[in-house]
C-alpha cells in the first residue's frame, strides 16, 4: 500500500512539474479594414472552442498567451464587416503572428456578440445604419439612439430640441454630445445651457456613433444625466466621391470628398505606414416648406489626416469650418390658425432668423506600448459665433414694437483630454485600469440678450457681458473581469468649476467669480450567463453645470446639482438573428437653478424624479431584411409638489420608433421608418397638452460599382403634425389681454429628395 501511495505522489509531482515547465506559445494579431487599410479597434476575437475572447485595441492588435502547442481557429467579428475565420498553428516557446483584413458586408445580427469582454462597451450605430435611413443633416443621426427624439423650431439653422428619458433636454442641457471626443455642448450659451449644434458635421463622414443612457461612465462628465453620444468621423475615405441632391421647396445640396493619399497609400511604402488624408465639403440651400421663404444656406469644410508616427503611435489631425444663415417663421399660437390670422405654415413675425459659425481644430495622439499600456492625448480648439432673432410672445411686453429679441455671442474654447490605461492579470482575473485628466475653458465676448425690432434696430440691451468658465477634472476607472461571466466596473470622477462674469452694463464695470466642485462615483455589474444572455446593473452619480450667470449671483452655492441614476437591464439573444435589450431605470435630480436665456432671468427648480422602461428589439427576418422597434415609457414628476400639480412640462411619457431595413447583393438598400411620441403635459397641471404625432419616412438606394442613386421621403403619408410645442403666454397685435396656450412649429409635410453619388 505504501508503494502505491508513493507512486501516485510521484506521478502527481511529475504532472505538476510538466505543467509548470511546459513550453507554451502565443498568438499575436493585427486586424485591418480592407477598404482603408487602417487598423480596426473593437473587433471581437474568439478562440473557437476554448471560450477565450478578447477585443482589438486602439492599434487593431490582439493577443492570446499560454497556449499549448496545437492548431487553433480564430473567429473575428465586427458589425458591418464580414466575419473572418483564420487558422493558426502554435509552437512551443513561439509567438504566431497574424495579419487579417476584414471587408464590408451586409448587416448581420449574428455578428453581435454578447460576452463579458464587451460588458462595459457603449452601444453602437454603424455607418450602414446611417446610409439606409433618411438623413437630412447630422443632427438627425441622433434619432437612431433608441428613445431619443428631436424637434426643430427655427427652420433648420438652430440646434434641435432634444427629448430623452422623460427629459425635455432643450438643446442639450442633460445629454453630453461630442464629435471625436471634442465637446459640442456650449456652457453658459446665449440661448441656453448646454446648447449643442451638430450641424458642423457632414453626415457622409460619420463612421459610427457611440452612445449610452444614464450617468454611468467615469470618463463622461458635464451634462451626462440622461446619457451621452459621441460621433466618430471617418479616418479615411473608401473612395473619393461627389454627391448631388435636389428636392422639393427649392432644396439643393452638394457634397464632395477627395481622398488625398489614395493612389500612394495603395502602393508600396505608404501602405505599410497606414496613413490617410482627405478633404470634404458640403453646401446646402433650401427655402423650406414655410409660407415665408427660409433662404437657408449652410457651408461645411472638413479635412482629416490619420497616420502612424511609429508602429505603436498614431496621430490624427482634424480641421473643420462651418457657416449657416437662415430666416425662420417662428412659433405659431393655436388661436392664430383658428382665427385665420395665419396658415399652418405661416408666421406671426416673419423677421426671425439667425446666423452661426464654428471652426474646430482637433489633435489626437494615441500610443500603445509593448506592455499594452494605452496613452491618449487630445488637444482641441474651437471658435464659435452665434446670432439668433426670436419672438415668442409677440406683443406681450411691448405693444408697439413687439417682443423680438437678439441672442448673440462670440466664443473661443480650448481643452485637453488625456488618459492612461493598462491591463493586468491578477490570478484568473483581468484588471483594466484607466486614469484620466480633462480640461476645458470657454471665453465668450459680448454675450448678449437685447430687445430688437425687425432684426435691424436694437431697442435696449437686457444682458451684456463676458464669460470665462473653466472646468478641470480627474477620474479613475477600474474594469475587472472577475471571470468569463462576471465583470465589475467602478469609477470615481472629480470636477472643479470656476466661473467668472464681467457685466458690461454695470457702471462701473464689475467682474465677479465663483467656484464649486462635485464628486461623481460609479458602480456597474455585468453577469453573462452564456453567449445569449447577460444581466447588468448600472449605478452612478452625474450632473449638469449651471450657467455662469446663475453661478456668480449664487456665490457658487447649489450650482452643480447632482443626478443619481440606476439601470437594471438584460441583453438577450434567444437565437442568432434576434437581439433584445430591456432595462428598468430610475433617475433623481436635486435642486437646481435654471437660467432662461430668452428672458435673462433665473428660475428656481425643485427636485425631480424620472423612472421608466426601455425595450429594444432587433430581428433579422431574412439575409437581407432587418426589423427593429424601440419602446420607451417614462413617469416624470416633480418632488414636493401637490399631486396633479407635479407634471414636468413637455417631458415625453411614451415614445416608440422602428421600421424595416433592406440591403441585398443586387445593389438595392433602404428603409421604411416610423416614429411616434404620445400626448404629454405642456404645463405643471396638465391643463395644456402637447399633442403627439406619428410620422413615417422612407429611404431607397440603388448602388453600382461607381455610383449610387437615392430617393429620400420625409413624412411619406403627408401627416399634419406639430414638431415642437410650448405652453406660452403671448399677446397678438390688437388683443386686449394675453393668452396662454400651445405655440408650435409645424412639422415637415411630404418632402422628397433625389440624390446621385459618383465614386472615383
Predicted local confidence at residue 15, as pLDDT: 42
For residue 127, what pLDDT band results from cuts at 50, 70 and 90? low
Predicted local confidence at residue 267, as pLDDT: 41
Please indicate, yes or no, if residue 111 is contained in any of the structural domains.
no
Nearest to 345 by CA among 361, 329, 365, 364: 329
Which range has highest mean pLDDT (11-15, 51-55, 640-644)?
640-644
Please indicate, yes or no, if residue 93 is contained in any of the structural domains.
no
- Range of lowest pLDDT (78-82, 120-124, 194-198, 254-258): 120-124
**Which three three-digit cell numbers place residue 497?**
468649476
Assign 3-class secondary structure to 602-648.
EEEECCEEEEEEEEEEEEECCCCEEEEEEEEEEEEEECCCCCCCCEC
Please indicate, yes or no, if residue 407 is contained in any of the structural domains.
no
Predicted local confidence at residue 741, as pLDDT: 96
Q: Is the dihedral of CA 447, 450, 455, 458 positive or negative?
A: negative
Predicted local confidence at residue 370, as pLDDT: 84
Three-state secondary structure call for residue 143: helix
Nearest to 498 by CA among 543, 542, 468: 468
Can you tell me the mean pLDDT for 613-630?
Answer: 91
CATH number at residue 476: 2.40.170.20
Q: Is the pLDDT of residue 377 over 50?
A: yes
Backbone phi and psi for residue 13, each to the nearest 5 degrees, phi listed first? -65, -40
List, in sequence order, every residue forming a beta bridge with 515; answer none if it has no partner: 498
Can you tell me the mean pLDDT for 699-706?
Answer: 93
For residue 624, what pLDDT band results from cuts at 50, 70 and 90? confident
Please indicate, yes or no, if residue 118 is contained in any of the structural domains.
no
- Compute the radius of gyration of the chain from its Cα atoms: 28
Largest Cα separation within the chain, whole Å, is 113
Note the pTM of the prediction, 2 decimals. Answer: 0.92
Q: Is the pLDDT of residue 266 over 50?
A: no
Predicted local confidence at residue 21, as pLDDT: 43
Domain that holds residue 235: 124-359+371-399+414-429+436-759
Please indicate, yes or no, if residue 719 is contained in any of the structural domains.
yes
Distances in Å between the Cα of 687 and the Cα atoms of 147, 290, 626, 740 are 25, 29, 41, 11
Whole-angstrom distance, CA of residue 56 vs CA of residue 246: 41
- Rounded to the nearest 10°, the torsion over CA 605, 607, 612, 616 is 60
Q: Is the pLDDT of residue 14 over 70?
A: no
Q: Based on the structure, what is the number of domains in the chain? A: 1
Q: Which ranges of 535-584 does DSSP label H, i.e. alpha helix?
A: 548-551
Please indicate, yes or no, if residue 457 is contained in any of the structural domains.
yes
Residue-averaged pLDDT of the chain: 89
pLDDT tens, residue by residue, 633-669 = 999 999 988 999 999 999 999 999 999 999 887 889 8
**Which three three-digit cell numbers place residue 9?**
505522489
Q: What share of the chain in percent tops pLDDT 70?
A: 90
Can you tell me the mean pLDDT for 515-529?
Answer: 95
For residue 562, what pLDDT band results from cuts at 50, 70 and 90? very high
Please indicate, yes or no, if residue 545 is contained in any of the structural domains.
yes
Please indicate, yes or no, if residue 292 is contained in any of the structural domains.
yes
Whole-angstrom distance, CA of residue 757 vs CA of residue 153: 30
Q: Is the pLDDT of residue 271 over 60?
A: no
Can you tell me the mean pLDDT for 131-139?
Answer: 74
Whole-angstrom distance, CA of residue 177 vs CA of residue 13: 60
Predicted local confidence at residue 311, as pLDDT: 86
pLDDT tens, residue by residue, 593-610 = 565 656 656 666 789 999
pLDDT tens, residue by residue, 417-459 = 999 999 888 888 889 999 999 999 999 999 999 999 999 999 9
For residue 16, what pLDDT band results from cuts at 50, 70 and 90? very low
Q: What is the number of other CB atoms lying within 10 angstroms of the CB of residue 482?
A: 17
Predicted local confidence at residue 20, as pLDDT: 43
Can you tell me the mean pLDDT for 522-546?
Answer: 92
Q: What angle do CA 677, 699, 77 make, to 5 degrees?
A: 90
Q: Is the pLDDT of residue 70 over 60?
A: yes
Cβ burial 195-225 (10 Å sphere, 16+ → b, else e): bbbbbbbbbbbbbbbbbbbbbbbbbbbbbbb
Q: Check residues 132 and 446 and name the one with the higher pLDDT.
A: 446
List, in sequence order, every residue forming a beta bridge with 709; answer none if it has no partner: 702, 756
Amino acid at each position: 500500500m505504501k508503494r502505491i501511495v508513493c507512486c501516485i505522489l510521484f506521478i502527481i509531482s511529475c504532472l505538476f512539474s510538466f505543467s509548470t515547465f511546459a513550453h507554451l506559445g502565443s498568438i499575436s494579431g493585427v486586424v485591418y479594414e480592407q477598404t482603408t487599410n487602417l487598423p480596426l479597434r473593437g473587433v471581437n476575437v474568439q478562440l473557437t472552442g476554448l471560450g477565450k475572447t478578447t477585443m482589438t485595441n486602439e492599434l487593431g492588435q490582439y493577443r492570446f498567451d499560454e497556449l499549448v502547442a496545437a492548431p487553433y481557429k480564430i473567429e473575428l467579428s465586427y458589425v458591418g464587416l464580414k466575419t473572418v475565420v483564420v487558422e493558426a498553428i502554435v509552437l512551443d516557446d513561439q509567438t504566431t503572428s497574424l495579419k487579417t483584413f476584414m471587408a464590408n458586408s451586409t448587416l448581420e445580427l449574428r455578428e453581435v456578440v454578447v460576452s463579458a469582454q464587451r460588458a462595459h462597451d457603449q452601444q453602437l450605430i454603424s455607418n450602414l445604419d446611417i446610409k439606409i435611413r433618411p438623413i437630412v443633416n447630422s443632427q438627425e443621426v441622433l434619432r437612431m439612439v433608441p428613445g431619443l427624439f428631436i424637434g426643430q423650431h427655427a427652420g433648420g439653422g438652430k440646434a434641435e430640441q432634444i427629448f430623452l428619458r422623460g427629459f425635455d433636454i432643450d438643446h442639450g442641457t442633460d445629454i453630453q454630445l461630442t464629435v471625436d471626443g471634442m465637446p459640442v455642448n456650449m456652457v453658459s450659451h446665449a440661448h441656453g445651457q448646454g446648447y449643442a449644434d451638430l450641424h458642423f458635421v457632414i453626415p457622409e463622414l460619420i463612421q459610427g456613433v457611440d452612445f449610452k443612457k444614464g450617468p454611468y461612465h467615469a470618463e463622461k462628465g458635464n451634462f451626462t444625466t440622461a446619457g451621452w453620444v459621441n460621433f466618430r468621423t471617418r479616418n479615411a475615405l473608401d473612395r473619393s466621391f461627389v454627391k448631388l441632391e435636389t428636392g422639393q421647396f427649392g432644396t439643393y445640396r452638394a457634397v464632395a470628398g477627395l481622398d488625398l493619399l489614395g493612389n500612394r497609400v495603395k502602393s508600396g511604402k505608404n501602405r505599410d505606414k497606414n496613413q490617410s488624408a482627405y478633404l470634404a465639403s458640403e453646401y446646402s440651400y433650401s427655402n423650406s416648406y414655410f409660407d415665408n421663404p427660409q433662404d437657408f444656406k449652410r457651408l461645411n469644410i472638413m479635412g482629416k489626416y490619420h497616420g502612424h508616427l511609429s508602429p505603436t503611435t498614431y496621430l490624427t489631425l482634424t480641421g473643420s469650418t462651418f457657416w449657416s444663415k437662415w430666416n425662420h417663421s417662428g412659433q405659431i399660437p393655436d388661436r392664430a390658425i383658428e382665427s385665420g390670422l395665419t396658415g399652418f405654415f405661416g408666421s406671426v413675425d416673419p423677421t426671425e432668423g439667425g446666423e452661426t459659425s464654428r471652426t474646430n481644430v482637433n489633435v489626437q495622439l494615441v500610443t500603445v506600448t509593448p506592455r499594452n499600456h494605452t496613452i491618449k492625448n487630445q488637444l482641441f480648439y474651437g471658435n464659435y459665433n452665434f446670432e439668433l432673432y426670436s419672438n415668442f410672445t409677440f406683443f406681450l411686453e411691448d405693444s408697439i414694437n413687439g417682443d423680438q429679441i437678439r441672442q448673440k455671442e462670440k466664443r473661443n474654447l480650448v481643452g485637453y483630454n488625456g488618459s492612461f490605461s493598462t491591463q493586468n492579470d491578477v490570478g484568473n482575473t483581468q484588471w483594466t485600469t484607466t486614469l484620466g485628466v480633462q480640461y476645458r475653458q470657454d471665453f465668450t465676448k459680448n454675450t448678449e440678450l437685447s430687445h430688437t425690432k425687425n432684426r435691424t434696430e436694437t431697442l435696449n440691451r437686457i444682458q451684456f457681458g463676458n464669460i470665462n468658465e473653466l472646468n478641470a477634472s480627474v477620474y479613475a476607472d477600474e474594469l475587472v473581469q472577475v471571470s468569463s461571466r462576471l465583470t465589475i466596473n467602478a469609477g470615481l470622477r472629480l470636477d472643479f468649476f470656476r466661473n467668472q462674469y464681467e457685466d458690461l452694463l454695470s457702471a462701473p464695470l464689475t467682474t465677479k467669480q465663483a467656484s464649486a466642485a462635485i464628486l461623481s462615483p460609479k458602480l456597474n455589474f455585468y453577469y453573462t450567463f452564456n453567449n445569449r444572455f447577460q444581466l447588468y446593473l448600472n449605478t452612478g452619480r452625474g450632473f449638469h453645470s449651471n450657467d455662469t450667470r446663475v453661478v456668480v449671483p449664487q456665490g457658487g452655492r447649489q450650482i452643480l446639482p447632482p443626478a443619481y441614476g440606476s439601470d437594471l437591464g438584460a441583453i438577450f439573444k434567444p437565437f442568432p438573428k434576434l437581439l433584445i435589450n430591456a432595462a428598468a431605470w430610475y433617475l433623481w435630480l436635486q435642486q437646481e437653478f435654471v437660467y432662461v436665456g430668452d428672458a435673462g432671468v433665473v428660475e428656481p427648480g425643485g427636485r425631480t424624479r424620472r423612472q421608466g422602461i426601455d425595450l429594444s428589439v432587433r430581428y433579422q427576418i431574412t439575409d437581407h431584411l432587418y426589423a427593429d422597434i424601440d419602446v420607451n415609457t417614462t413617469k416624470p414628476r416633480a418632488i414636493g409638489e401637490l399631486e396633479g400639480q407635479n407634471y414636468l412640462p413637455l417631458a415625453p411619457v411614451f415614445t416608440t420608433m422602428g421600421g424595416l431595413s433592406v440591403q441585398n447583393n443586387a445593389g438595392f438598400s433602404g428603409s421604411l421608418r416610423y416614429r411616434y411620441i404620445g400626448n404629454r403635459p405642456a404645463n405643471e397641471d396638465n391643463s395644456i397638452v402637447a399633442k403627439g404625432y406619428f410620422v413615417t419616412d422612407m429611404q431607397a438606394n440603388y448602388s453600382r460599382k461607381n455610383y449610387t442613386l437615392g430617393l429620400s421621403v420625409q413624412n411619406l403619408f403627408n401627416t399634419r403634425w406639430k414638431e415642437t410645442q410650448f405652453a406660452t403666454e403671448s399677446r397678438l397685435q390688437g388683443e386686449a389681454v394675453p393668452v396662454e396656450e400651445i405655440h408650435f412649429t409645424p412639422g415637415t409635410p411630404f418632402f422628397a429628395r433625389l440624390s446621385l453619388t459618383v465614386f472615383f
